Amino acid sequence: MACMSEVVTHEGAAPAPRPARILIYSDDRNVRENVRFAVGSASHGRPVEWTETATHAAVISAIDASTFDLVILDGEAAKSGGMGLCRQLKHELYNCPPMLLLVGRPTDAWLATWSEADAAVSHPLDPFVVREAVDEFFAPAAAH
């Protein structure tokens, strides 16, 4: 019979943070690459796991198959833009993940509002602005 004093514990060893699962949609490989580069490998200490998609159907399939902490949609994608896709997902998913929309220019912010995006960043993509926008989604809640 083991007694409690025989149990080994590692005090102070915090569990590894759960990865931040981010889906990115753009038909332009360069846009996807620029966003991944801007965000880096971690956000607020959480490693980032990327799922890249280039088509509307691939986004729907990925969201049906997995859970994401953030979805980044390129509003300038050809054939099926991220704005309409964002609005569709917001209306169809009960637990819709937060959406970051990449819009063509700052004056397109109203389109991000129409699409019900949680945040928007305009092209040309400034890596610091992209990183800051993504980090906002993973920032720890402020202690009160």
Question: Among 28, 75, 76, 69, which Cα is nearest to 52's?
Answer: 28
CB-count exposure of residue 50 (10 Å: 0-12, 13-18, 19+): middle
Residue 144 has pLDDT above 50, yes or no: no
In this prediction the pTM is: 0.87
The per-residue pLDDT for range 53-111, each reduced to its tens digit, is 999 999 999 999 999 999 999 999 988 899 999 999 999 999 999 999 999 998 888 88
CA dihedral 82, 84, 87, 90 (to 10 degrees): -60
Sequence-distant (≥ 6) Cβ neighbours of residue 136 within 8 angstroms: 119
- CA 29, CA 80: separation in Å to the nearest integer? 15
Amino acid letter, residue 106:
P
DSSP alpha helix (H) spans, 4-123: 29-39, 56-65, 82-92, 109-114
Helix axes 29-39, 127-138, angle to 10 degrees: 60
Question: What's the CATH number for 17-138?
Answer: 3.40.50.2300
- How many other C-beta atoms are found inside a 10 Å radius of the C-beta of residue 126? 14
Per-domain residue ranges of the chain: 17-138
pLDDT digits (tens, 9 = 90+) for 27-52: 999 999 999 999 999 998 899 999 99
- Higher pLDDT: 137 or 11? It is 137
